[in-house]
Amino acid sequence: MNAIAIYENKRLTVKAGLGALRFSVFPAKSKRGKAAVPGKNVKAAKGEKPKQNFPMPESEFIFSTLDKLRKRLVIRDLDVGYMPPGGDPMAAAMINALINETAGILLPAMNNLFRVKKSRVVVTPNFYVPSDKLYVKLHLSMSVFSALTLGLGAYMKYNKFRKSLEAAEPPVPETKNKTTTETTYERKEQ
């Protein structure tokens, strides 16, 4: 299981794959003939009751899931290319030094957090183009078994947390709106 994210010319493209199969995730391909109306809830239009939203789990749940994801995720390829605008050679040299210094700090930190197989940062000044260009390619991979166990474990933890929230909340008493007051008097015989 792998994913490739490419940012180039102010466009983001995300592709995912399983084995030899690859498909585009973002930007999603538009379906012809079906125009989506933003903000319209299909269930509300049918008259069904909308699903109850639960609050987000505690930070402990989120951080433990992200830590497990960090341990199982492999960065196969991290490729960053930057072309600063030209014109002034001194400014281009300063940008080159700044980016290489930042990469020298961040890449070892990423190597400590994730398993990084290959990383590369390239800065090439272009004195003939007035605007800058950025290229980032990130190739992530994870085994199918790791993804399934991670997803199943997170789902089970979330359900356990949700049930504990439901058990902790006291039930809300139902109130009936009475429009008329009915009073019955019983006569006791002595």
Per the domain annotation, does 180 fall within a domain? no
Whether the per-residue pLDDT at 76 is higher than 80: the answer is: yes
Residue range of the domain that includes 99: 2-26+61-168
- Distances in Å between the Cα of 42 and the Cα atoms of 6, 35, 39, 122, 136 are 34, 14, 10, 48, 38
pLDDT band for 125, please (50, 70, 90 cuts): confident
Q: How far apart (Å, rounded) are the C-alpha atoms in residues 10 and 28?
A: 17
- The predicted-structure confidence for 152-170, as pLDDT tens digits, reads as follows 888 888 888 778 777 776 6
Look-up of token digits 């995720």: 73
- Side chain identity, residue 37: V
Q: Answer whether 87's CB lies under 8 Å from 127's CB.
A: yes
Secondary structure of the chain: what % helix, strand, coil (to 5)? 35, 25, 40
Per the domain annotation, does 32 fall within a domain? no
pLDDT at 36: 47
For residues 16-26, average pLDDT: 82
Per the domain annotation, does 176 fall within a domain? no
Total number of domains in the chain: 1
